[in-house]
Amino acid sequence: MKKSKGVPLSEQTAEKIINLIKEQNLKPGDKLANEFELADQLEVSRSTVREAIKLLISRNILEIRKGSGTFISDKQGIPDDPLGLIFAERDDKLALDLVDVRLMLEPEIAAMVATRATEEQRKHIMEQCLKVEEVILKGEEYREEDIRFHRCIAEASGNQIIERLTGTRPISRKR
């Protein structure tokens, strides 16, 4: 592999691995070639491949499954805290700021869904909405069902950026 000036070889290798993932149309859960094969294919040492894989793990692109290998992460490169809220002070202002952002985005997303969703997606959204209501009325924890509801809406929008902005991933990946 030709070395780019100023860019560490491990970072160049990480980018090459990303390109391989795209070229091979690998999806979340798919297994990546082993270290030996990648080193040979990319014409770098195994230690460079290991460093590149570590970088991609830290970026939520890959994950290691002990005894099984390296796989494409279902997080698809999305950070666990993309807005950096872990360091934000938890107060009423933060809650109101989040509501403000939701009020800006959600009506437009709903409009997209209204015009783009298939009949099957609409049915799924309604079913999931009823599940959320049912869990709330029972006084049970509803977070997971609510996440599924928003996942249905994001997918039905037909906009992959919305899926990423809302921190959701599609329910059904076409393989």
Distances (CA, A) of 131 to 120, 134, 156, 157: 17, 5, 18, 20
Q: Are residues 15 and 61 in the same domain?
A: yes
Domain boundary among 72, 104, 122: 72
Q: Are residues 138 and 98 in the same domain?
A: yes
pTM above 0.75, yes or no: no
Domain boundary among 31, 50, 72: 72
User: What is the span of the domain harbouring residue 121?
Assistant: 85-165
Can you give the CATH number for the domain in which 64 is found?
1.10.10.10
Q: Please give the DSSP secondary-structure letter assigned to residue 73.
A: -
Q: What is the pLDDT of residues 106-127, one digit of tens each?
A: 999 999 999 999 999 999 999 9
Q: 2 lies in a domain?
A: no
Residue 34 near residue 69 (C-beta atoms within 8 A): yes
Strands, E assignment, the chain: 62-65, 69-72
Q: What is the pLDDT of residues 65-114, one digit of tens each?
A: 999 999 999 887 877 777 777 777 777 888 899 899 989 999 999 999 99
Q: 4 lies in a domain?
A: no
Q: Are residues 68 and 89 in the same domain?
A: no
Structure token digits, residue 163: 């899926």
